[in-house]
Amino acid sequence: MDVLDRKVIDLFAAEPRIGVLEASRRLGVARGTVQARLDKLADSGVITGWGPDLSTEALGYPVTAFLTLEIRQGAGHETVAAHLAQIPEVLEAFTITGAGDMWARVVARSNADLQRVIDQVLRHDGIDRSTTVIALATQIPFRVLPLVTSLA
């Protein structure tokens, strides 16, 4: 992770469809160098993919909510996680600090639809209770770039 690596990431983050050759021109290095850096960044796991970024909003799911789930003593996280994984509206889930707690990000078509999603989530014995928090507005959309840039 040196300055060039950072510049490569910055450049491809800003203009993803740019191509290796054009990138090498912009950065003033040889094509093979950019190629090699990208390969290394992928190998080291820093770059995990190039997939299209999808907007849940544009897909018809404008409501985002965060659920905190209290897992019943004795019930494994695994079985709850497997249950959550089967619900498409669950976009993300973590186990968190706090006795047997999990945390999930869900989306829904509307506030009314959110009820349906929550009901579906709760349809599992391992979950004791849950708290729902609805996201009203996105102040900072997901980003990693500033972190890369800060690795000066």
Q: Residues interacting with DNA, by CB under 7 A?
A: 4, 17, 19-22, 28-33, 35-37
CB nearer to a second copy: give 89 or 127: 89
What is the residue whose two structure tokens read 């968190």? 96
Region near a second copy per CB under 8 A, out of 20-28, 29-37, 48-56, 119-127: 48-56
Task: Provide the b/e sequence for 41-75 (b: ≥16 CB within 10 Å).
Answer: beeeeebeeeeeeeeeeeeebebbbebebbbeeee
Q: How far apart are CA 4 and CA 8, in angstroms?
A: 6
Q: Which does 125 bind (CB under 5 to 8 A by kind): DNA, a second copy, none?
A: none
Task: Provide the b/e sequence for 100-109 (b: ≥16 CB within 10 Å).
Answer: bbbbbbbbbe
91 sits near a second copy (criterion: CB under 8 A):
yes
CA pseudo-torsion sign 119, 62, 136, 112: negative
Taking the complex as a whole, the smallest distance from the CB of residue 14 to a second copy amounts, in Å, to 8
Are the C-beta atoms of residues 79 and 123 closer than 8 Å to each other? no
Taking the complex as a whole, the smallest distance from the CB of residue 62 to a second copy amounts, in Å, to 12
Q: Which does 29 bind (CB under 5 to 8 A by kind): a second copy, DNA, none?
A: DNA
Interface residues toward a second copy, by CB under 8 A: 1, 9, 12-13, 16-17, 41, 44-61, 64, 66, 77, 81, 84-85, 88-98, 101-105, 107, 133-151
